[in-house]
Copies of this chain bind each other. A is one copy, B any other.
């Protein structure tokens, strides 16, 4: 019989506990797939006394994850501590230093230090699996890293944060405001007490950085991503979107452009009948546009203990079978330095909602400012008075044909300076099918 693979699990929260539980419950099936037994021989967590409903009697307990990673107890280290620095980073670095493959769900760590980790891992000839870091149980990393090898990708985009999609879906269905919906999501456990990381778009940006690296062969560049969150979205925007045939989603989008790889996270209007637009609730969905395969869409659970553990265990089995190769699909040395396509050069259609003060000449002035920047309007809709507008203002929604972000910003700056509008314009980019 083949030697067992000794697995050490650092971090025994929801995901870590599910990994240990499933590795035990499915031991025979996993051995058949892996060609060798997979055994949890070591664990690491802060609180040894907590009842996790797991039999950990066969596993060595380490208070320190890095100590576990360097111990003779383990052949493979599963890092589920989280965070871009500190214990998680030290644990992964130690494992690689000791020649042990790593499986991690840590998007922050890989977004910020993925290049160095990949270089170190490749130098040591050890694998790093991170399927669980993007879109939870959806096998998007495997699909991009292995399944799309023949393709030159034009775009990869998707719903990568279940909290935001849950909030937007509920706002749309129940016609309630963002703050109320967020509070409810927090009560139900779909949003953190400090929700900034999710609703601000930063979690999506970490995942997008990894997708862009896999799709375009560029070094992860989370700081080069344009990020807007969903806090400014109103029920009126969602209603207007529906009338116009769109759904509003927080998307991470990476596109190959002449100016480099454009990476952006912001609320987007997607045609209602596109596959990603239809994905509601906490579900994640990713579309890959490859030149050979066309549009490929994957959707499924983006979070949750068991779904994320499913991705972690798939990586463990691959490594147990001897699957290796470069961390991001191509050697880290060949990953291109980030070539940030500036957001000012972004091209696309726009939804613009203005609170226009009810005075003569306002509409004409707005139209003129748009024309001065060469922006063509596809439609103009006056929505009338509503809760969001001042007493002497009306909501006007403009839909533009494709234009550049810089032209749009120029027009909106001029419109604001003219003094015909109340408050800042609401701008939502339209993502083409």
Q: Which residue of B lies closest to A304 (CB)?
A: B294
By the criterion CB–CB under 8 Å, are A142 and B150 in contact? no
Instruction: Decide yes or no: A26 and B150 within 8 Å by CB, A142-B142, A143-B142 being known contacts.
Output: yes
**Which residues of B have CB within 8 Å of A314?**
146-150
Residues of chain A from 207 to 222 with CB closer than 8 A to chain B in the complex: none
Instruction: Decide yes or no: A307 and B293 within 8 Å by CB, A147-B131, A313-B149, A323-B323 being known contacts.
Output: yes
For the complex, give the distance between the alpha carbons of A137 and B293 in Å.
6
The contact of A32 among B304, B322, B334, by CB within 8 Å, is B334
Q: Which of A34, A279, A290, A334 has the most CB of B within 10 A?
A: A290
**Which residues of B have CB within 8 Å of A275?**
275, 278-279, 299
By the criterion CB–CB under 8 Å, are B150 and A139 in contact? no
Instruction: Decide yes or no: A310 and B325 within 8 Å by CB, A26-B152, A275-B299, A331-B32 being known contacts.
Output: no
For the complex, give the distance between the alpha carbons of A148 and B148 in Å.
18
The contact of A325 among B35, B298, B300, B301, by CB within 8 Å, is B35
The contact of A309 among B34, B150, B309, by CB within 8 Å, is B150
* A309 smallest CB distance to B (angstroms): 6
The contact of A292 among B131, B137, B334, by CB within 8 Å, is B137
Instruction: Decide yes or no: A147 and B142 within 8 Å by CB, A137-B294, A296-B299, A297-B300 being known contacts.
Output: yes
* A422 smallest CB distance to B (angstroms): 39
Q: Which of A150, A300, A312 has the most CB of B within 10 A?
A: A150
For the complex, give the distance between the alpha carbons of A375 and B33 in Å.
43
By the criterion CB–CB under 8 Å, are A310 and B150 in contact? yes
By the criterion CB–CB under 8 Å, are B150 and A313 in contact? yes
Q: Which residue of B lies closest to A33 (CB)?
A: B149
For the complex, give the distance between the alpha carbons of A296 and B139 in Å.
9
The contact of A296 among B26, B294, B298, B304, by CB within 8 Å, is B298
* A158 smallest CB distance to B (angstroms): 13
**Which residues of B have CB within 8 Å of A300?**
293-297
Residues of chain A from 274 to 329 with CB closer than 8 A to chain B in the complex: 275, 278-279, 290-301, 304, 306-307, 309-314, 317-318, 321-325, 329
**Which residues of B have CB within 8 Å of A29?**
149, 152, 330
Does A251 reach chain B (CB closer than 8 Å)?
A: no
Does A121 reach chain B (CB closer than 8 Å)?
A: no
Does A179 reach chain B (CB closer than 8 Å)?
A: no
**Which residues of B have CB within 8 Å of A88?**
none
For the complex, give the distance between the alpha carbons of A137 and B325 in Å.
23
By the criterion CB–CB under 8 Å, are B310 and A301 in contact? no
Q: Which residue of B lies closest to A301 (CB)?
A: B294
Does A138 reach chain B (CB closer than 8 Å)?
A: yes
Does A10 reach chain B (CB closer than 8 Å)?
A: no
Does A182 reach chain B (CB closer than 8 Å)?
A: no
What is the interface of chain A, defined by CB distance below 8 A to chain B?
18, 22, 26, 29-30, 32-35, 131, 137-139, 142-143, 146-152, 273, 275, 278-279, 290-301, 304, 306-307, 309-314, 317-318, 321-325, 329-331, 334
**Can you list 23 residue pairs at the A/B interface with Cβ under 8 Å?**
A18-B292, A22-B292, A26-B150, A29-B149, A29-B330, A30-B149, A33-B330, A137-B296, A139-B139, A146-B314, A147-B314, A150-B312, A275-B279, A292-B313, A293-B300, A293-B306, A293-B311, A294-B304, A297-B297, A297-B298, A297-B299, A297-B300, A298-B298
Nearest 8 Cβ contacts at the A-B interface: A139-B147, A150-B313, A137-B293, A296-B300, A292-B310, A293-B310, A149-B317, A292-B306
